Structure 1
């Protein structure tokens, strides 16, 4: 793990915490699950480009999927 992977993990984890809190307060399942995913996936992905791509996809999910 290098510094850039760690930095992106912290950024995506912070955004994930925001999604998690929003989803919990609004009882919205997609932002809640997206937030959990954003907080958890940096621990499992070591490739920087896949990490960034996965983070962008998880951030965009609540915008495109409305339940």
Structure 2
């Protein structure tokens, strides 16, 4: 049986860090804005990149560095394609 201190340590190890949570929120908001922009410009490519930007944090797990790496890459792709549609 686990005592209270061990149980607390176990639960904290399962939760994502605050940096991960903030990153997921920021990239989700950026994805929503990019989706609205893609819809306004009728750009299917930007809309799909925006959907990916909104939902990829659910697939990453608790790897904060990977969250930011993929988020910046998707934001860069949206910026690259914003005038090409």
Fold shared by both chains (TM-score > 0.5): yes
Q: Which runs of 5+ in 2 are unaligned?
A: 1-15
- Deviating beyond 6 angstroms after TM superposition, the runs of 4 or more aligned structure 1 residues are none
Native 8 Å contact 1:19 1:31 kept in 2: yes
The count of corresponding residues between Structure 1 and Structure 2 is 67
In the aligned structure 2, how far is the partner of 1:7 from the partner of 1:56?
14
Structure 2 residue 75 is matched with structure 1 residue 62: no
TM-score normalized with structure 1 length: 0.89
Across the aligned residues of Structure 1 and Structure 2, the Cα RMSD in angstroms comes to 1.2
What displacement does 1:26 show?
Answer: 1.1
Native 8 Å contact 1:8 1:52 kept in 2: yes
Could you say which structure has the larger radius of gyration?
Answer: 2
Q: Which runs of 5+ in 1 are unaligned?
A: none
Residue pairs, 1:1-67, within 5 angstroms: 1-45=16-60, 46-65=62-81, 66-67=84-85
What displacement does 1:63 show?
Answer: 2.6
For each residue in 1:13-46, what CA deviation from the matched residue of structure 2 results, as whole angstroms up to 9, or x when unmatched?
Answer: 0000000111112101122111101110011112
The structure showing larger relative contact order (alpha-carbon pairs under 8 Å, at least 6 residues apart) is: 1
